[in-house]
Structures are given as C-alpha cells and as structure tokens.
Amino acid sequence: GAVVSQHPSRVICKSGTSVKIECRSLDFQATTMFWYRQFPKQSLMLMATSNEGSKATYEQGVEKDKFLINHASLTLSTLTVTSAHPEDSSFYICSSDGTSGTDTQYFGPGTRLTVL
C-alpha cells in the first residue's frame, strides 16, 4: 500500500510559538491531503482538505488563520499551528487518497504536539 510519513513524530513547544508539521507521500502523488486532529480518548476530527496548488478547504469551526495549510507539491503538505496554546495540544494526523478515484485513504503515523 501507499506510504505517508509525518515529521516530526512528536514536538513540544512553548505557548505562543509556531509549529510546522510536514506530511509526505513517499511512493505516490497526493493530489488531495486531509488533516485531522485527535484529542485523548476521542475520535479523529477532520480539520481541512488541501489540494495541490490551491487553497485549503477548512471544516466549520477550524480557524484558517491559526492552522495554516500549504500543499505546494504533489508529495508534500504542511500544517503550521501559529501562536500555539496549551489547548492546541493534540495528535495531528494527515492522510491522502492518492490520485483521485481511489477508495482507500492512507494515513500518516501522526504527530503528537504538546504546548507548554
């Protein structure tokens, strides 16, 4: 199956700083990538959908100015959490369905963000 990687796997930062999370498709071209957030003991919540070369589409209630998404190439999407606060501490996961038309989504291993 297709492989999606994320970097870093975990990050600890101070309140007020910005953190960038990278999501890469290693063996396929990802036209579309999805970003999820998961709080402890809760399910995944879709934050936004990004398409290569265009602006991301954010889900209701997700602040686009706080969670900046860039999908500049077919193998890389980044999520930047700006001015992070402790309530942003969460498990962030990206996924892609590869080239359009496939039925399966491939998920990255996730990034654990802790904001002190």
Partner 1 sequence: DAKTTQPNSMESNEEEPVHLPCNHSTISGTDYIHWYRQLPSQGPEYVIHGLTSNVNNRMASLAIAEDRKSSTLILHRATLRDAAVYYCILKSRGGSNYKLTFGKGTLLTVNP
Q: Phi and psi at residue 88, in whole multiples of 5°?
A: -85, -5
Nearer to partner 1, 76 or 82 (CB): 76
Nearer to partner 1, 14 or 41 (CB): 41
In this structure, are residues 112 and 45 in contact, taking their beta carbons and an 8 Å threshold?
Answer: no
Nearer to partner 1, 44 or 76 (CB): 44
Considering the complex, what minimum distance in angstroms separates the CB of residue 10 from partner 1?
10
In the complex, the residues that contact partner 1 under the rule CB under 8 A are 1, 4, 6, 32, 34, 36, 43-46, 49, 51, 57, 91, 93, 95, 97, 100, 103-110, 112
3-state secondary structure of 80: strand
Closest CA to 94 of 81, 83, 79: 79
